[in-house]
Amino acid sequence: MKYTEIIKWLLQGDVSIQYQVKRDLLDEDDTQLQKSIALEGWGKHFLSQRKNDGHWGDRFYQPKWTSTHYTLLDLRNLCLSPNNLLVKDSIDKVLKHNIADDGGIRLGPSTRERSDVCVNAMFLNYASYFEAPEERLQSIVESILNEIMPDGGFNCRTSRSGARHSSLHTTISVLEGLSCYLRAGHTYKKTSIQKAITSSIEFILMHRLYLSDRTGTIIHKDFLNLHYPCRWKYDILRAMDYFQQYEVTWDDRMRPAIDQIKIKKNKDGLWNLNASYPGQVHLKMETAGNPSRWNTLRILRIKRKYDLDL
């Protein structure tokens, strides 16, 4: 397909896709279109699953993908309007009832003392996006910063079985959370956050996004698959989309990942959904093995940001 035909195909997708295509590829930030995300398509369906108590699923973190936590993350990634009152109310309830002793977000009744840095980071991401007050996020910021590792990244296993090396899964979630927090205009711990962002970006680049820094071999083959939604898991497209979103300067260590993304383009000039993560979901946005508007959109905005031949 020609580029104009690909844009036309993307604009035939869900209203959340339409909004991001116009904003990121056509320089049209259509606020009225963004408001309609809550009124039709995927956004309306997610919101319709909200219970009277303000939660989704059984509780904050269960069942996994239909829980309050992951539904709020989905809604943030759809770019639902940040001033949505239903979402704001749900986030307020989490902040009132789910703070652990270490200042982070507890997953359930049995996890009162310790929180999980991955969940804290994802929560910070959507809570910042949906304009939660800065003062109510300060303890979460502190709990995340307390988990930084000597190699500059993060690993959620530090609070469980222990870890000596950072995790790409955890580090990308932390980057998204801390960066969204700063983009919201918050200043608490700003200098420490900026340092953590810099060291975490370097941790990912040191691995050329998917390669062992010691042996040069692929860390995990799943890192090369293009998933959506990403949930808590890392892949090279998620990393590159973060880099373009937060205007990280091009680094030649990104090139191996870009080469991997390029060879995945299908004959129509689109990118497929390589895989989806198993588990109960509110709805299936796309089917693995078929052309993916999410992946094609994300890759085109990376291409545009870095002026790449993709």
The tens digit of pLDDT for each residue in 238-251 reads 999 999 999 999 99
pLDDT of 159: 65
Residue 292, pLDDT above cutoff 70: yes
pLDDT at 35: 97
pLDDT in tens, 255-273: 999 999 999 999 999 999 9
Contacts of 126 (CB under 8 A, 6+ apart): 72, 73, 75, 76, 91, 180
User: Of the candidates 139, 259, 248, which has an alpha carbon nearest to the alpha carbon of residue 198?
Assistant: 248
- CA-to-CA dists, residue 261 to 146, 255, 299, angstroms: 34, 10, 8
For 257-281, letters b (16+ CB in 10 Å) and e give bbebbeebeeeebbbbbbebbeeeb
| Both structure tokens of 268 | 């129509």
Cα dihedral 260/266/271/276 (nearest 10): -90
Q: Span 178-182, mean pLDDT?
A: 98
Q: Identify the pLDDT of residue 157.
A: 81
pLDDT for 176:
98
pLDDT at 161 over 70: no
Say whether pLDDT at 119 is over 90. Answer: yes
Q: CB of 189 within 8 A of CB of 171?
A: no
- 110 pLDDT band, cuts 50/70/90, is low
Q: Name the residue with tokens 């279109």.
A: 33
User: Per residue in 14-24, pLDDT tens?
Assistant: 999 999 999 99
Q: What is the mean pLDDT of residues 111-130?
A: 92
